[in-house]
Amino acid sequence: LLAMAGFWLFLLVGRLLAPGSAFNLDVESPTVYSGSEGSYFGFAVDFFAPDLSSMFLLVGAPKANTTQPGIVQGGQVLKCNWNPNRRNCQPIVFDATGNRDFAKNDPLEFKSHQWFGASVRSKDDKILACAPLYHWRTEQKAEREPVGTCYLHDGSKAFEYAPCRSSIIDAEGQGFCQGGFSIDFTQYRLIVPSVFFVPSSTWYPTGQLISDKVAEIVSKYNPKVYTTKYDSQLATRSANAAFDDSYLGYSVAVGDFSHDGIEDFVSGVPRAARTLGMVSIYNGDTMASMYNFTGEQMAAYFGYSVAATDINGDDYTDLLIGAPLFMDRGSDGKLLEVGQVSVYLQQATGGFQSQAMKLNGFEVFARFSSSIAPLGDLDQDGYNDIAVAAPYGGEDKKGLVYIYNGRATGLNGMPSQVLEGQWASETMPPSFGYSLKGATDVDKNGYPDLIVGAFGADKVALYRARPVITVNAGLEVTPTILNPEDKSCELNENGQKVSCFKVKFCLKADGKGSLPRDLTFHVELLLDKLKQKGAIRRALFLHNRQPVHSKNMTVPKGGRMSCEELQAFLRDDSEFRDKLTPITIFMEYQLDYKTAMDSTGLQPILNQFTPANVSRQAHILLDCGEDNVCRPDLQVAVDSDQKQIYIGDENPLTLVVNAENLGEGAYEAELFVTVPPQADFIGIVRNKEDLARLSCAFKTENKTRLVVCDLGNPMKAGTKLSAGLHFSVHQESEMDTFVKFDLQIRRYGALSTVASFPSFHNYAASAACSRCLVVIVRSLCNFRVSSPDHLFLPIPNWQPKENPETEDDIGPLVQHIYELRNNGPSAVSKVMLNLQWPYKYNNNTLLYIMEYEIEGPMNCTSDMEINPLKIKMSTPHQDEKNETTNGGDSRSHNVNRRDLSAAEGDVQTLGCGTAECLKIFCQVGRLEREKTAILYLKSRLWTQTFMNKENQNHSYSLKSSASFSVIEFPYKNLSFPEDVHNSTIVSYLIFKISVTQGNTIKLKRVVKMKHASDLLPMFLLSYIKSWIVGLIQFYRMLLKLLIKF
């Protein structure tokens, strides 16, 4: 028996509530009732109206202690005053006695822990309350059984009603039926299911519905008789084995489904049909089966809760069935327990619509549909509403109750209001919504109210419905077309004329229930509503010269429309640009709730389905034909002064825009130029008479840089104009291939033809593109070589050493400087520099390289060892001295004409074709514009070679060659110039002459090598010119020598 009681409690507690809603329930100040801690106060609730002047709340507390002698937690039903100022609760005495005995210490009943108050229902002045865990035994057997019992109270006396109590005590039959698990009233009958009734054909409980007439229960009551047989009793027949453990009677409701005016019985059977669940409807006059509804998902507990009410206003009772364990698939495809309500609409021809409406819960494990309560017409719109509980939902699982509004097609699919539990419980969830009861107007204001129980917190909340006020608002504007030239009103005492119009606003209010005779509203009118905050509003009220007018307006409830009229005027058109958009006149209103609340502090509410504002529009008269609708035809084209731009350069660019309007006037016409990241706007072209001087401004919108130019307001029909815009294009990245400008003319309400001026930016130009600015690479590299270019042998006062130890012992210094300069504008990323140096001739050394140094992003290697003899290097000061001395700049030589002629006439050329050359290979890295890479090559003339007998009678020209070639540019998507290279040959002349004191010959030449992109004829011309100038200087020196001689 204890195990069975625990199982029953598990099922009972599992029925925890879920969300409910209705927009006009007062959630700010519900009336809250509290019971004894741990009494489960609020487990069952109902309204009680014993007469027309009285109204109470009934609250079951099945674990409350009573004054019954010897009884522990017998349970109570309390009657609570609904008035928030007198919200006291008093227990109703149904049974003041303890256990009755066969003899002393031999009880025949067991009232402790009987859960009296687990179910409570009232009808008129009658109250039915049950104790489903009440136990009973007979004198023949000592075993006690949970037959359950109920009490019917008529206001003055209580009558016990225990339909399952009999002289036959056994599990087979009604011994375990737990009568009163769920209960309900019809007009003349009460229905008390025996959920665990066991038919004789099986040993498993199937459940049973039992119904008796109220009058017979009262008339046959005898406190000394424990079992009573009722002549008018109706009961369902024993079911076969297929209904074992199906729990018929788990939930009950009543409603007319046979169209005979007699309420029929609805019963949930949540474990029937192999746990799919069922709901059965039985005839209220004969208990014959009428309809069966079967669930669609196993173990969803379809039938856990049931309710019956007319939802769609057709005067036919509809059926609602809860399945709190129903599972639906979430967005990830996984099944989630959310709960479900199935709505079946009854048809006028009998039966129900084949397709049920489904309402799914919103939270996992919230047990949505644990209880369902008809609410009556909460908002008085002609359709009954419904509350659905999710007692484990909400924040911290405090519970939710959802309110759904009825309509002609059924229930609204979304709740109009959600009630949230406010209490927490330390021992168990508060179970807010586990019990619900509505459809009764407790405060007599014309709107039904709702009771919500939270037995886990021992709380009950009464939510009263607020009266709903429906407002009809009117707004008129006269005239609707405003002519700026028709200035018929005076603005001030100075006689300033303005264009006026009238604004008329009206209100009418009505509502059902207890509302004051007059309703006060705060009305606010706003002119040019659609203009953003801070923008110029084009219309103002005449009386205050402001765009806003506010006032309180009193309207009689249910009376005629109350109206007022104001004058407004249009600003002068020089004060604003927008002439095309309509001027919106906006009216909104709010109820003054404090003046409309009743004596208990309950405030009405405006109908949420009626808008709280209204607007009208007025248009400014335009020069656009009779219909005042402008139809411009805007065209735009664009040209530029450049066809290409160079990457890395400061590229000035002028866009010439041609705009034309071939249609009617275009108001607020503007040219929008989207400036690409590679460009900056400089300004408009002002020095050309054929180009319009537009007013342009640079701005940024959503990280897009724009140049916006005014084309006129309006840009009149037939207008043609051209304008020039200056840009600087300078920020090309290595990924750029084209630079794109987008141009478009915008007017209010539309976009004109779009002209893209794309200089192809990673995508092809649009069809509207008139010219494309291609980004190309251009790099001008100059190559310059500086060196001494001659030497006279022998050198005075110097003798070569056979085994030189220092570099001064070798001979004079010969130093070349090779400078590679990038004159831009584009960068280069890789350049190869090759040098060939005359090193040996007939196994004799010519120019002995001591070392080389680099400056800039360059690395060099040679094909021979540098300074293989490990000659000691001189200091930089000595190099400078030797270079000056050996170069012949500071010392004078007297040159005989005979010696000079001889030296000149016998010059032997030693280059890489005749002599052995040392090769140096250099790789230059990235060179930006105006950057250089320099190679310093330091060598010594091996004088001993030229002083040998076989070489004494010759002069020599030592020729070295250098060349460079650009290999790579740092641009991935661009085309490059081909064959960016150049080369040069440097000669070093060695004259063998006889030197005397006298005139000095000074020869100096610098060879320059230009960039390969210069034309070859230009290079040759420069080279020949340099050679001729040097030759002329040389012959001038010779002439001076000849004259002297």
Both tokens of residue 301?
A: 């507990």
Least confident of 52-56, 220-224, 823-827: 823-827
Q: Please report, for the domain that includes residue 976, its CATH number.
A: 2.60.40.1530
Secondary structure letter of residue 194 according to DSSP: B
Q: What is the pLDDT of residues 275-285, one digit of tens each?
A: 999 999 999 99
CB 306 within 8 A of CB 266: yes
Which of the listed residues 620, 647, 681 is the one where a domain comes to its end? 620
Instruction: State the DSSP code for 99.
Output: -
The rounded Cα 691 to chain-centroid distance in angstroms is 46
Q: List beta partners, residue 991.
A: 792
Residue 926 dihedral angles phi and psi, to the nearest 5°: -65, 130
Is pLDDT above 90 for 613? Answer: yes
Q: Is the pLDDT of residue 91 over 80?
A: yes
- In the structure encoding, which two tokens stand for residue 20, read together? 């409910």
- 944-989 pLDDT, tens digit each: 888 877 776 678 888 888 888 888 887 776 666 665 667 777 776 7
Q: Are residues 945 and 1031 in the same domain?
A: yes
The predicted pLDDT at position 900 comes to 46
pLDDT per position as a tens digit, 791-800:
777 777 777 7
The residue out of 756, 776, 796 marking a domain boundary is 776
Flag whether 625 is in a domain: no
**Does any domain span residue 890?**
yes
Residues 822/927, Cβ–Cβ less than 8 Å: yes
End-to-end CA distance of the chain: 152
Q: Is the pLDDT of residue 289 over 90?
A: yes
Residue 9 has a pLDDT of 33
Query: Counting Cβ atoms within 10 Å, is residue 253 exposed (0-12), middle (13-18) or buried (19+)?
Result: buried
Please write the tens of the pLDDT for every residue from 375-389. Answer: 999 999 999 999 999
Question: What is the count of structural domains for the chain?
Answer: 4
Distances (CA, A) of 408 to 344, 373, 384, 470: 13, 19, 10, 20
Same domain as 1005, residue 917: yes
Six token digits for residue 271: 């474990």
Q: Say whether pLDDT at 714 is over 90.
A: no
Across all residues in the chain, what is the average pLDDT?
A: 83
Query: What pLDDT was estimated at residue 1018?
Result: 43
Q: Which of 488-502, 513-527, 536-550 has the lowest mean pLDDT?
A: 488-502
Query: Per-residue pLDDT tens for 586-596?
Result: 999 999 998 99
For residue 757, what is the domain's CATH number?
Answer: 2.60.40.1510
Residue 714: is the preceding peptide bond cis (ω within 30°)? Answer: yes
For residues 30-48, average pLDDT: 97
CATH number of the domain to which 273 belongs: 2.130.10.130
pLDDT at 502: 97
In a domain, 1040, yes or no: yes
- The residue ranking higher by pLDDT, 103 or 1009, is 103
Q: Is residue 594 in some structural domain?
A: yes
- The Cα 810–Cα 793 span in angstroms is 14
Is a pLDDT exceeding 50 seen at residue 1013? no
627: in domain: no
Same domain, 663 and 806: no
In this predicted model, what pLDDT tens digit does every residue of 741-765 receive, in sequence order? 888 888 765 544 445 443 332 222 2
At residue 732 the predicted structure's pLDDT band, cuts being 50, 70 and 90, is low
Average pLDDT over residues 1022-1041: 54
- For 422-436, 487-501, 627-641, which range has the lowest pLDDT when averaged over its residues? 627-641
- Mean local confidence (pLDDT), 505-514: 93
CA distances from 438 to 1, 429, 442, 608, 842 (A): 36, 23, 10, 21, 124
Residue 585 has pLDDT above 80, yes or no: yes
Q: Which of 890, 964, 901 is nearest to 933 (CA)?
A: 964
849 and 942 housed in the same domain: yes
Which residue blocks in 33-165 are alpha helix, DSSP H? none
Quote the pLDDT of residue 775.
57
- Which of 405, 432, 463 lies at the terminal end of a domain, its last residue? 463
Q: Phi first, then psi: give them for residue 807, nearest 5 degrees.
A: -70, -25
Residues 134 and 165 in one domain: yes
**Are residues 614 and 542 part of one domain?**
yes
Residue 557's DSSP bridge partners are: 509
| Residue 28 amino acid letter | E
Mean pLDDT for the stretch of residues 262-286: 96
Q: Residue 219: which pLDDT band, with cuts at 50, 70 and 90?
A: very high
The answer to whether position 505 is within a domain reads yes
Model pLDDT, residue 168: 66
416 and 485 share a domain?
no
User: 696 exposed, middle or buried (CB, 10 Å; 0-12, 13-18, 19+)?
Assistant: middle
459 and 480 assigned to the same domain: no
Q: Which residue would you say has higher pLDDT here, 152 or 206? A: 152
325-345 residue pLDDT tens: 999 999 899 999 999 999 999
Please tell me the distance from the alpha carbon of residue 38 to that of residue 456, in angstroms, as a whole number. 8
pLDDT of residue 122: 97
The full length of the chain comes to 1045
The per-residue pLDDT for 16 is 33
908: pLDDT confidence band, cut at 50, 70 and 90? Answer: confident
The vertex-882 CA angle with 849 and 800, nearest 5°, equals 70
Clarify whether residues 140 and 12 are in a common domain: yes
Lowest mean pLDDT among 116-130, 706-720, 758-772: 758-772
Q: Are strands 669-674 and 740-747 parallel, antiparallel or unpaired?
A: antiparallel
Beta bridge partners of 454: 432, 459
Q: Please tell me which residue, 774 or 1011, carries the higher pLDDT value.
A: 774
Sign of CA dihedral 58, 64, 69, 71: positive
pLDDT value at position 138? 81
- Within-domain flag for 626: no
From edge to edge, which strands make up the β-sheet containing 251-255? 251-255, 264-269, 278-282, 289-294
CB burial string 159-193: b at 16+ within 10 A, e below = bbbbbbbbeebeeebbbbbbbbbbbbbbebbbbbb
Please indicate, yes or no, if residue 629 is contained in any of the structural domains. no
Torsions phi, psi for 47 (to 5 deg): -90, 155
Beta strands in 641-777, from DSSP E residues, in sequence order: 644-646, 651-661, 669-674, 679-684, 695-701, 704-712, 720-729, 740-747, 750-758, 774-776
How much is the pLDDT for 1031? 61
Q: Which of 121-130, 713-722, 887-896, 920-929 has the lowest mean pLDDT?
A: 887-896
Residue 862: which pLDDT band, with cuts at 50, 70 and 90?
A: very high
Q: Same domain for 994 and 900?
A: yes
pLDDT at 783: 65
Ordered strands of the 704-712 beta sheet: 695-701, 704-712, 669-674, 740-747, 750-758
Q: Contacts for 1011-1017 with beta carbons within 8 Å, 24 or more apart?
A: 1011/780, 1011/781, 1011/782, 1011/783, 1011/823, 1011/980, 1011/982, 1012/781, 1012/965, 1012/966, 1012/979, 1012/980, 1012/981, 1012/982, 1013/778, 1013/779, 1013/780, 1013/781, 1013/977, 1013/980, 1014/780
The CATH number given to whatever domain includes residue 583 is 2.60.40.1460
Helix pair angle (1016-1044, 897-905), 10° resolution: 150
Rounded-to-integer distance, Cα 791 and Cα 202, Å: 134
Q: Domain limits at 494?
A: 468-620
Whether residue 139 has pLDDT greater than 70 = yes
* pLDDT at residue 626, as a whole number: 75
pTM above 0.85, yes or no: no
Residue 749: burial class (beta carbons within 10 Å; 0-12, 13-18, 19+): exposed
Predicted pLDDT at 1008: 33
Mean pLDDT on 1011-1019: 40
pLDDT of residue 405: 96
The per-residue pLDDT for 911 is 85
Provide the 10 A C-beta neighbour count for residue 395: 11
User: 408 and 510: one domain?
Assistant: no
Tell me the DSSP string of 404-453: E-EETTEE-SS-SEEEE-----SSS---EEEEEEEEE-SSSSSS-EEEEE
Judged by DSSP in three states, 143 sits in: coil
Express each pLDDT in 97-114 by its tens digit: 999 998 888 899 999 999
The reply to whether 697 and 584 lie within a common domain is: no
How do residues 641-699 score in pLDDT, each as one tens digit?
877 777 767 778 899 999 998 888 888 888 999 898 888 899 999 888 889 989 999 99
